[in-house]
Amino acid sequence: MSGNLLNIPALLGRLPLFSSLTPEEVARIAAGTREQHAARGDILFHKGDPNLGFHLLLTGQVKLAFMSAQGNEKVVEIIRPGQSFGEAIMFMETPYIVYAQALDDAHLLHVAKSAVFAELDRDPKLARKMLASMAVRLHQLMADLEANSLHSGKERIVSYLLRDLPPEQTGAARVQLETTKGVVASRLNLTQEHFSRILHELVVAGLIEVRGRRIEIPAVDRLRALIS
């Protein structure tokens, strides 16, 4: 995607964070926005790096993660196209508490903190609108935390497999794991061995078929019954 074909103001205007801004306000923020490309495996920022803005992912995938004291990676979130990340740390004005790594070749926008803060200085009422948007994101993260804390490993995996399927779907479906099993397992707060064991149990029960990253679900309603 060539830079001169990108309509950066339009892309920023779709973000919940900026949905209430006028075209003129979005245009000023767009002027402080730059394209960024990352190859698979590239680190976008390390834990402890200063935050100079936030990112919007256009294509590819990015994981947010940190290393535990035992040296194990814990994936906090897998970012998909259309999602943004880094806003909360930007407003806190603290260094990054996780690192970001491209899981695939990625195309992003980096929105400068200085541009966002300049708009807030022009109209402090914008802060209230932006906080409302961030509250929605916080609610989603709290729901994820609750699911990982209170649900069994099998329930977490089934919920993950069904998350993009319409609730009324009952027949066969095909799901593609967005990244490696190890990364997905970490995102669900499971070891890779535990993740693979549960997948095997679901296969033996005839609830799924595993073909690499592709998961075939013969009957969605039977699988959904495990979390009903």
Is the pLDDT at 36 greater than 90, yes or no? yes
> Do 211 and 121 share a structural domain?
no
Same domain, 179 and 146: no
Q: Would the pLDDT of 147 be above 70?
A: no
pLDDT in tens, 5-17: 789 999 999 888 8
Last residue of a domain, one of 121, 150, 179: 150
> Rounded to a whole number, what is the largest CA-CA distance in the chain?
61
Residues 118 and 35 in one domain: yes
Q: In what order do the strands lie in the sheet with 173-176?
A: 173-176, 214-217, 209-211
Q: What is the pLDDT of residues 154-188, one digit of tens each?
A: 988 998 899 889 988 889 999 998 888 889 998 88
Query: Is the same domain home to 99 and 179?
Result: no
Spatial separation of the C-alpha atoms in residues 56 and 18, rounded to whole Å = 12
pLDDT band at 1 (very low <50, low <70, confident <90, very high): very low
- Is 90 exceeded by the pLDDT of residue 126? no
Q: Same domain for 141 and 201? A: no
**Number of domains comprising the chain:** 2
